[in-house]
Structure 1
Amino acid sequence: MAAVPSPAPGAPVKLSGLSSRVVLRVVLIVVLVVLALWLIYELRRPLTWVFIAGFVAIALSGPVNLLQRRMRRGFAIALVYFGLILVPVLVAAMLVPPIVEQLNLLIDNLPQYVTDLQQFVAKNEQLRQLEQDYNITAELQKQASSLPARVGDAAGILSGIGLGLVNSIFAGVTILILSLFMLGSGRGWLNWVAERQGHERAAWLNRLFDRIGNAVGNYVAGALGQALVAGVLAYIVLLILGVPYAGSLAVVIFLLDLVPLVGATLGAILVGVITVFNDFPTATIVWTIWSIIYQQVENSIIQPWIQARAVQVHPFVVLVSVLFGSTLFGVLGALLAIPVAAAIQIAIIEYNSFRRPENLGAVRAPVPAREPPEPEPEPA
């Protein structure tokens, strides 16, 4: 029987047909991938902030470029950010006072509401029988009387809400600062990246960046325009119906209409519940009919007309992207889903255009060599 020859010195050891070098390389790649995924998971919050900051910077680049025609870019950025900070302050000033007032009114009048309920139950035979069996109104009266004393017990809940509010404010300030840096220097960073890819690739990348920026900016402008139309019309209808705090409710409609697919419905339901306590059933019926009609008009006329000029994304892609975004990141994911889908679509289209044979030929065409200079005549 012939002896098995031993491997030559320095040759890689074979393991089941694989060299030790290949096995080591595979193990190293797996370890690096796992390490990268772990690092991304640990940094998911700041990475999300950076992503949102980039979206904000792209969305604000349009107003900044418009103001830059009349003033320096630094002043334009400062003016746009001042307006951006002023918006939530004005929204809070319009929403917080009515909410606090209505909560105080509810707490003060809750015992009277229970008394009215007792009188209503006493006039209804079936409800009176339920009252005798379960003593419902007496329990409600007991809970209503003890409600003011329980305000102190809610300190723990309020502290948790306050801590969450502080964290949200910190995240918002961080995102604004990051977007400020991106808006001021982001184009220079993109140009630096593009210039490192060669002349042809640089032109393609610049075109890609411009198209994505235009799509995101147009989407934001279209969404704001659509929400503004919904808020103004809702304000007019609520004024006609005599619903109190029509301005605050119109702001709620405006904000919720920014959420794709379900935002307008949620706003209509919320305002409809409020009309129940104001002028039931007239105001509630009129508001319900108006909401149904307007949502049909918005979905079939206003939204397609606005978004067709903003982002050209198939409705199926819009639905799937909103579902994925809302599942992964909640309301924020739903807000960012459509512009992200538009950016991905633009990137795919531009990449396919760049990879066409004629474009590849242009990219890979060799630069013609220069003719060597003629030698100068030697002096006689």
Structure 2
Amino acid sequence: MKIQNAFRLGLFGGLGVLVAVVLGAGIGNLATILTYVGAALFLALGVDPAVSFLERHKVPRPLAIVIVLVLILGVFAGFIFAIIPVIADQVGTLIQQVPKLVETIADQQAVQEWWEATIPWLKYDDVVANVQTWFTDNLQNITSGVLSTVITVASGLFGGLIVLILMLYFVASLGGIKRAMYQLVPASKRAKFIDISEQISTSVGRYVVGQVALGACNGVLSFLFLTVLGWVLGDPIEYAALLAFIAFLFSLVPLVGTITGSVIITALVWLFDGWPAVLIVGIWYIVYMQVEAYVLSPNIMNRAVKVPGVVVVIAALAGGTLLGILGALVAIPVAASILIIVKQVIIPRQNEL
């Protein structure tokens, strides 16, 4: 249709902009759901290699899916019934120590003596008055911030449950989803599309398995090291299971996860165990980060995704900036997928010109 009238042209242009705004608002409202779906699909692709492994060993795919799902649910249930109570007990012990810390801080005479001996040029009474005034003026903001944090944690737990449920559905129907997607591609290009798609899904699955393996390695070694260190020092390291769990969680985040978790763990050991445990723990994590960077990560990840180091750094930074932790997690397999497409689609076309 040829539009000659300026008014009609403006009207159609305005309607196009309005539709784009409505679509953008709709996608923004669905951002959380899309994030859950993306995370679940990402994890399902990570589980798929286990299903494929069983298939290669003459296990029918439906039975292989059932076995893998039972193993996942078993590990999840074992994690809840074995590790969570230990962590909960240690968190409870930590909470019980908070009043003692508060009581120590509230001992104004001791604090004032330390203050006047350490920082004599800064008046203790003026600092206390300023702190009290600040808390009084910002009490509403502090209360709302704590409430917001509680709501965020609860939403995160609920989101994790939704992701787990969606992942189970995706794992069970991944083959059907792939076949339906392949039918949308023209028959003349379907074979090439299927080949590239399978390479991408395999690459993503291997990356997930590799990242979980690195996290499990850090968590298990951290727990063993902290336990043995407590025996050697004759004083058990406080909250060893909780610290090992922190090491596992942070190691799932590429690049900065291990160093961030190591700093947090070292700071907590310094707070609750003091010297010389903090020095030994700090040295341990410095050594471990070198081993992970130069031995564990290259050997594990080179078998999963073959991405140049500079691309890994850029992809992780870009993904983290755009989508936070989830973006950092999926950035490297996305970069690997783009490299596969470039090598097998774009470069061959350029060579044909």
Alignment TM class, shorter chain as reference: 0.7 to 0.9
TM-score (norm 1): 0.74
Give the corresponding residue for 1:257.
251
> Following TM superposition, by how much is the alpha carbon of 1:96 offset from its aligned partner in structure 2, in angstroms?
2.2
Q: Distance in 1 between matches of 2:301 and 2:146?
A: 41
Give the corresponding residue for 1:277.
271
> Following TM superposition, by how much is the alpha carbon of 1:297 offset from its aligned partner in structure 2, in angstroms?
2.3
Which one is further off, 214-223 or 176-185?
176-185
Structure 1: where are the runs of 5+ without partners? 1-10, 143-153, 361-380
Q: Distance in 1 between matches of 2:209 and 2:3?
A: 63
Match for residue 318 of structure 1 among 312, 332, 339: 312
Closer, same or farther: CA 158–30 of 1 in aligned 2, 3 Å? closer
Give the corresponding residue for 1:366.
none
> Following TM superposition, by how much is the alpha carbon of 1:262 offset from its aligned partner in structure 2, in angstroms?
1.5
Between the two proteins, the alignment pairs up a number of residues equal to: 334
Equivalent residues in 2 for 1:193-342 (5 A)?
Answer: 193-242=181-230, 243-342=237-336
- Contact 2:238 2:269 (8 Å CA) reproduced: no
Give the corresponding residue for 2:136.
none
Q: Distance in 1 between matches of 2:87 and 2:44?
A: 27
Closer, same or farther: CA 13–300 of 1 in aligned 2, 3 Å? closer
Higher relative contact order (CA 8 A, sep 6+): 2
Give the corresponding residue for 2:179.
191
- Contact 1:276 1:283 (8 Å CA) reproduced: yes
Which one is further off, 34-43 or 309-318?
34-43
1:134 corresponds to 2:99: no
Give the corresponding residue for 1:182.
170
Closer, same or farther: CA 40–279 of 1 in aligned 2, 3 Å? closer
Closer, same or farther: CA 349–220 of 1 in aligned 2, 3 Å? same
Q: Distance in 2 between matches of 1:86 and 1:328?
A: 33
> Following TM superposition, by how much is the alpha carbon of 1:357 offset from its aligned partner in structure 2, in angstroms?
7.2
> Following TM superposition, by how much is the alpha carbon of 1:98 offset from its aligned partner in structure 2, in angstroms?
0.7
Q: Distance in 1 between matches of 2:64 and 2:18?
A: 46
Q: Distance in 2 between matches of 1:87 and 1:213?
A: 28
Structure 2: where are the runs of 5+ without partners? 133-141, 231-236
Q: Distance in 2 between matches of 1:241 and 1:60?
A: 35
Q: Distance in 2 between matches of 1:128 and 1:192?
A: 71
1:99 corresponds to 2:91: yes
Higher helix share: 2
- Contact 1:49 1:171 (8 Å CA) reproduced: yes
Closer, same or farther: CA 299–277 of 1 in aligned 2, 3 Å? same
Deviations 1:336-362 (A, max 9, x none): 22122222222333322674777x9xx
TM-score (norm 2): 0.79
| Structure with max Cα Rg | 1
Which one is further off, 85-94 or 310-319?
85-94
> Following TM superposition, by how much is the alpha carbon of 1:114 offset from its aligned partner in structure 2, in angstroms?
5.2
Give the corresponding residue for 2:137.
none
- Contact 1:222 1:306 (8 Å CA) reproduced: yes
Q: Distance in 1 between matches of 2:212 and 2:23?
A: 38
Amino acid at match of 2:67: A
> Following TM superposition, by how much is the alpha carbon of 1:127 offset from its aligned partner in structure 2, in angstroms?
2.5
Closer, same or farther: CA 190–24 of 1 in aligned 2, 3 Å? farther
> Following TM superposition, by how much is the alpha carbon of 1:124 offset from its aligned partner in structure 2, in angstroms?
8.4
Closer, same or farther: CA 134–286 of 1 in aligned 2, 3 Å? same
Q: What's the % identity of the aligned pairs? A: 27
